[in-house]
Structure 1
Amino acid sequence: MFYLIFVVYMLSAPHAVFSESGSHSLWVFATFLTGDSSVPFPFPEFTAVIMLDDIVIGHYNADERNFVSATTQETVNVTEQVTISTVCKGIHAGMKTKAYYLIDYLNYTRGLHVQQRLVGCDLLRDEPGRMMTLEAFNGESGFERRYTVQGEQQTHWKWPVIKSRAQLEYDAWLYAHFYRPLCISQLRKYLTKEKKRVMARVKPRVRVIKRYCRETDVVQMTCLATGFYPRHINLTLLQDGQPVNEERVTGGELLPNPDGTYQMRKSVELSAEEQREKHTYTCTVTHLSLDNKLDISIEPGPDPVIVIPSVLLLLCVFGLIIAAFTIWRRKYSQPEQIIYIPASADNQTTEQQQL
């Protein structure tokens, strides 16, 4: 259940959460649940999922306080187990303290409350990149910390600060000199382990879909790219060689396929007047798996429809039936031939009788 929540959250999060094309990232998505004990819910209090790019590496079991690998059959070594477990324990304790404080501060009393934290780092062309922490409580963002490639640290609070100045300075030092190097180190290790999966390249299948509305005489043109991996893709609708105004374009969300690949579609509607103006429309796609940009031309008007009268259609069907019956009758109505061979070896005559 929490894997699904995590994937949906990652796909719907701002693009700043994703690593850029050509880079790789390691993320921990943690969820802390608390609320009225009289309201039962079948989930653990704390869950943490670790992901390399969009591949689930494993999860932290809060009940047993250990890391469970999801990608390799080999046993997790002691160092990796202790490292990830220690980090997750710290996240658990920090989120628990903050959750109870926010419940009092926001004057929440009953019901289930959900705190989420997303923390991770990336490598940009094998060089240490950014690190980021995002936090939300009951679906509302309240804290953000970013460590840039240049070494600058930026922190934004929406919730009241509950730590002293000395504690905040220590947290900033720990973030820059312990957590970021540790995250980069683990990211490099997982890239070595999962290189084959991470470096996979699957080309997108691209097609154009047109829907015509007779009542309004409007044509909806949709460009669909599906089955591609990795997730980074640039899909654009062009009019006369220029991108269509974004206000007119619908869709554009990155969605997962059941086989681990992704899909994306974008649509634009054309009025009857725009169809008569004879503009040229193009669906253009660029992806890491493609050597060159893929362009597909789109005819703006509705597709021609060939209408066959019902009577003519019936005549065609009956004609095919009659033709098939005639062939069958000719094949099986020939008289059967029986060949008699005399029993006597001296008589070499062969007789044929038609019945």
Structure 2
Amino acid sequence: MMSKQYSPETYDAVMSLLKNGDTPSWRKVREITGHGASNAIVREVRQIMSELAERSAGGDYPKAAQDAFWNLWMNIKEIALSEFSQERDQFRSEAEDAKKAAQETMELLERAQERQAEREDQIILMREQLNQAAQREAQLIAQLAHANGRIDQELSRMEELRTAHKAEIATHDRERVEWQAKLEAETEQRHKVVADITLEHQRKVERLELELHNEQARYNDDTARFLRQIDEERVLHRKAEKEAQEVWHKLSAQLSQVNQEKAHLAGQLQVMQKEMDKVSLKNESLEAKNDALHTEISKLNALLTEQTALLHQAQLKVVSLTDNVTHQEADA
């Protein structure tokens, strides 16, 4: 029999789960104990279940308990195999990810090496350019030394010319002093003129300031007078507004009275309208009767016309008969 390599807490947790009819997975055991790595808990649970299986096989438990332990052991074994398969798949996935990361790292390393080679090529090129620049600098230094020699020669020549033309230079200096004296005198004269102009300008400014002060005083007086006029007009406006309000109230009262009279007239008008409607109905009835009478009169006129025509024919016949009788009497 193997030695115990599990903690009492794990054993108590496993037995508690078995008593409750639950499968003692490492997650449930850790929920009870509150600590422990998954691999360590799985190892301890396996050892505990192995001991229980050995006890069951040794006859320490009844047959029903042995069968129950055996079934439980098979279930735990299946769960452990399932968890092992999941962890194996997870490890494989992590290994694939690590392999991909390693490949990406190698690619990055190759790119870095390529960039390093490019930089080394650039450094070599820059060194060549620096060497060329150093050679160019040496050439420029030589040219500068040659130019400095020529400048020294020109300075010596200028000094010789200065010595040769010293008298002319002295004459030019005297002329310069004379012109400078004239310039100073003219400048002083201009300063006097400017001072006079400035004084005159100050006088004009003082006169303008006085005029401005007078204008300001006059403006203040006009403003005060204008404000007084505005106040008087405001008082008059308030009086006129008050009178207008009184007139408005009177007109409102009159308008109210007119509205009342209008309402009264409207009532009378409605009554008259009703009377007019009645008269209209009577008029329509009379017109209908009048139309009927006109129809009858038309019929009578037609009949009268017919009778008149018949009477005229009868008169013609009578006249004809009378003429015949007259002729007969005359013949007789």
Shorter chain as denominator, the TM-score bin is under 0.3
Higher helix share: 2
Q: What TM-score do you get using the length of structure 2 for normalisation?
A: 0.16
Higher strand share: 1
Query: Which of structures 1 and 2 has the larger relative contact order (alpha carbons within 8 angstroms, sep 6+)?
Result: 1
Question: Which structure has the larger Rg over C-alpha atoms?
Answer: 2
